[in-house]
Amino acid sequence: MNSMHTFIYLASQSPRRQELLKQIGIRFEMLLPSPDEDSESIETPLAQEKARTYVERVTLAKSAAALARWKKSDLPWAPILCADTTVSLPNHPNGEILGKPIDAADAIRILTMLSGKVHEVLSSVAVTLKPDENPMVLTQVSEVQFADLSTEQMNAYIASGEPFGKAGAYGIQGLGGAFIPSIRGSYSGIMGLPIYETQLLLNRAHVSRI
């Protein structure tokens, strides 16, 4: 009989993931990268990398880094949760992964690519059950219809600052939600942490709710 864990470690700085874990009653402690860790390089796509391969690779890399972080600490053991989300225009000739915009011009480029089209949002979540076991990973894929955006709408949205730090240069839970007439999939997955898949993994990890 496996004993229940009363909390997990969350290896993510995303406030949205924190909100979603609180929503399903999971207690968590932060296990964040130290300043000397190069977390940005983990998120650099490889040439012609497919979106699903990318998001799962990044999530597993984050999991390995978080486990190494725990091993250097004197913290008690608890399951470690990592996640990654990417936006994709499948089979796009310029590469199908749309990452976080580096500046306003890049945000315009990304939003122009999404305007009027259906794109995919892929969210992978990984839970490391024990320090000597590989993480369990599940990936959720949603389809998102984007409205046709005018240049004025894009500029106003970019001026709000919301596109920055977000894959695909938008946030569905914020102002960007007004650009999305329909989705097919998981709203929480589009936000960055698919609740259904997360709860499945936490059940397997014997994590209790608050």
Q: What is the pLDDT of residue 24?
A: 96
Per the domain annotation, does 210 fall within a domain? no
Is residue 57 included in any domain, yes or no? yes
38 belongs to the catalytic site: no
How far separated are the first and last CA of the chain, in Å rounded? Answer: 21
Domain containing residue 97: 8-204
Cβ 125 vs Cβ 138: under 8 Å:
yes
Residue with tokens 């496996």: 2
Task: Please list the residues that pair with 207 across neighbouring strands.
Answer: 5
pLDDT bracket for residue 2 (50, 70, 90): low
User: Is residue 32 in some structural domain?
Assistant: yes
pLDDT the model gives residue 167: 92
Catalytic residue among 38, 74, 84, 132: 84
- In this predicted structure, what is the pLDDT of residue 32? 86
Using CA atoms, how far apart are residues 35 and 185, in angstroms rounded to an integer?
A: 36
Domain count, the chain: 1
Compute the distance between CA of residue 122 and CA of residue 179 in angstroms, rounded to an integer: 19
Element (H, E) at 104: helix 104-114
pLDDT for residue 13: 87
Higher-confidence residue of 120 and 46: namely: 120
Whether residue 1 is contained in a domain is answered as: no
What local confidence, expressed as pLDDT, does residue 35 receive? 74
Mean pLDDT of the 60-64 span: 96
Domain annotation covers residue 2: no
3-state secondary structure of 125: strand
Which CA distances in Å does 91 have to 17, 25, 51, 70, 120?
28, 38, 9, 38, 11
Sign of CA dihedral 183, 152, 161, 105: positive
At 168 the pLDDT is 95
Q: What is d(CA 27, CA 29) in angstroms, rounded to the nearest whole number?
A: 7
113: Cβ contacts below 8 Å, ≥ 6 apart? 89, 92, 98
Confidence of residue 185 (pLDDT cuts 50, 70, 90): very high
Angstrom CA distances, 207 to 7, 11, 78, 200, 204, stand at: 7, 16, 9, 10, 8
pLDDT in tens, 67-117: 999 999 999 999 999 999 999 999 888 789 999 999 999 999 999 999 999
Is position 3 within any domain? no
- What's the CATH number where 90 sits? 3.90.950.10
Residue 60 lies in a domain: yes
Task: Give the C-alpha separation, 47 to 41, whole Å.
Answer: 14
| Band of residue 34 on the pLDDT scale cut at 50, 70, 90 | confident
Tokens 């999404």 belong to 114
Closest CA to 16 of 159, 176, 131, 135: 176
DSSP string, 142-155: EEEE-----HHHHH
In this predicted structure, the answer to whether residue 176 has a pLDDT above a threshold of 80 is yes
Q: What is the mean pLDDT of the chain?
A: 94
Determine phi and psi for 120, rounding to 5 degrees.
Answer: -110, 145
